[in-house]
């Protein structure tokens, strides 16, 4: 029997106090259910009731960020298959003028405010809920058919792209602010591919990414619980950890050899609670429950429950056996 509920446990960890046990959270897509608000609510609530994680990273379809500007999805009806995409609004640099600030009544935004409210109603107040919000540069990358198009526009005609990035930032700053009214505790703020050395130099990210990141994350209320998720290999986690005035948690793929390993992170990221430790594409996907339990015991023995919430480095593959996730939950 746990001594504390999920919210109490998370609050203790964020305050640097020792909890009754390690906290954990995992998240995944349910592609066949995330076509509309009702399906997303059902998927997220069902996953939480099944595994009882300590906070929810609300995992909606990624392109809710882009649909308001015209991106169209061919919805997947298979649990493990991603949606298709078409009708990208930006092809040439001049097309960025189409990208204007969206109102909160824009259907994809209104739908996902409804999702947050529905999940909060279903699960009550004891579970912290973080809504996924992508950085403006990441959203811009979903408005073009491929990443190279955005890279070329940023480097050849930045003055055409910057107003669009500002409009995206204004849109998601307003959305982030209204998430609290809907029932979210904060945001899971994700950089996707863009805050990496494989995509941009740090000087480019400082120019095209960071100012817009700040506009969105600063829209959170002072008591929000925000998680900074720095995606992919060769990432800029250490540079972005300076957002600790606005975020309380940091998550990244610490099992990727090009990234900061978890064992070194506590010394280098002192003001953020760490979330991670689990290799979601390695042993979690390919091992059996016994091996998963062994790995969780290893993580627990090597780390402090006041500094680490056990989790994956990114959204877990939906093919991961449910027994492996149950093995994690039983080891906490």
What CATH number is associated with residue 265? 3.20.20.210
Paired strand residues for 278: 312
Burial of 273 (0-12, 13-18, 19+ CB in 10 A): buried
Alpha-carbon gap, residue 249 to 267, rounded angstroms? 15
On whether residue 320 sits in a domain, the answer given is yes
Each residue's pLDDT tens digit in the chain (332 positions)?
899 999 999 999 999 999 999 999 999 999 999 999 999 999 999 999 999 999 999 999 999 999 999 999 999 999 999 999 999 999 999 999 999 999 999 999 999 999 999 999 999 999 999 999 999 999 999 999 999 999 999 999 999 999 999 999 999 999 999 999 999 999 999 999 999 999 999 999 999 999 999 999 999 988 999 999 999 999 999 999 988 889 999 999 999 999 999 999 988 998 999 999 999 999 999 999 999 999 999 999 999 999 999 999 999 999 999 999 999 999 99
On whether residue 1 sits in a domain, the answer given is no
CB-CB contact of 168 with 133 (8 Å): no
3-state DSSP of the chain = CCCCCHHHHHHHHHCCCCCCCCCECCCCCCCCCCCCHHHHHHHHHHHHHHHCCCCEEECCCCCHHHHCCCCEEECCCCCCCCCEEECCCCCCHHHHHHCCCCCCCCHHHHHHHHHHHHHHHHHCCCCCEEEEEECHHHHHCCCCCCHHHHHHHHHHCHHHHHHHHHHHHHHHHHHHHHHHHHCCCEEEEECCCCCECCCCCHHHHHHHCHHHHHHHHCCCCCCCCCEEEECCCCECHHHHHHHHHCCCEEEECCCCCCCCCHHHHHHHCCCCEEEEEECCCCHHHHCCHHHHHHHHHHHHHHCCCCCEEEEECCCCCCCCCHHHHHHHHHHC
Number of separate domains in the chain: 1
Alpha-carbon gap, residue 230 to 241, rounded angstroms? 9
Residue 32 sits in which domain range? 6-331
How far does Cα 321 stand from its chain's mean position?
22
The answer, as to whether pTM is greater than 0.85, is yes
On whether residue 156 sits in a domain, the answer given is yes
Q: Which tokens belong to 160?
A: 């055409």
What Å distances lie between residue 269 and 130, 260, 309, CA to CA? 21, 10, 14
């Amino acid at each position: 029997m746990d001594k504390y509920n999920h919210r109490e446990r998370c609050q203790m960890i964020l305050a640097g106090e020792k909890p009754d046990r390690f906290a954990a959270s995992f998240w995944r897509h349910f592609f066949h259910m995330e076509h509309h608000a009702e399906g997303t609510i059902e998927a997220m609530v069902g996953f939480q009731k099944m595994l009882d994680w300590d906070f929810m990273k609300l995992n909606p379809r990624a392109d809710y960020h882009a649909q308001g500007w015209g991106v169209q999805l061919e919805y997947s009806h298979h649990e493990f298959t991603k949606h298709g995409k078409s009708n990208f609004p930006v092809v040439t640099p001049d097309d960025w003028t189409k990208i204007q600030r969206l109102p909160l009544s824009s259907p994809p935004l209104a739908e996902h405010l409804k999702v947050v409210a529905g999940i909060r109603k279903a699960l009550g107040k004891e579970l912290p809920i973080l809504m996924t919000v992508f950085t403006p540069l990441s959203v811009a990358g979903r408005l073009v058919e491929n990443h190279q198009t955005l890279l070329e526009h940023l480097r050849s005609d930045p003055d055409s792209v910057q107003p669009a990035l500002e409009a995206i930032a204004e849109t998601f700053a307003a959305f982030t602010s209204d998430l609290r009214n809907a029932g979210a505790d904060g945001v899971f703020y994700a950089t996707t591919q863009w805050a990496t050395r494989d995509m941009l130099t740090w000087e480019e990210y400082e120019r095209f990414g960071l100012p817009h990141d700040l506009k969105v994350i600063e829209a959170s209320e002072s008591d929000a619980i925000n998680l900074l998720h720095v995606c992919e290999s060769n990432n800029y986690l250490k540079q972005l950890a300076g957002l600790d005035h606005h975020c309380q948690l940091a998550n990244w793929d610490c099992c990727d050899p090009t990234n900061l390993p978890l064992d070194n992170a506590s010394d280098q990221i002192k003001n953020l609670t760490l979330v991670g430790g689990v290799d979601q594409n390695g042993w979690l996907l390919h091992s059996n429950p016994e091996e998963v339990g062994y790995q969780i015991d290893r993580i627990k023995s090597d780390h402090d429950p006041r500094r680490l919430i056990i989790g994956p480095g990114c959204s877990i593959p939906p093919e991961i056996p449910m027994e492996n996730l149950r093995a994690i939950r039983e080891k906490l």
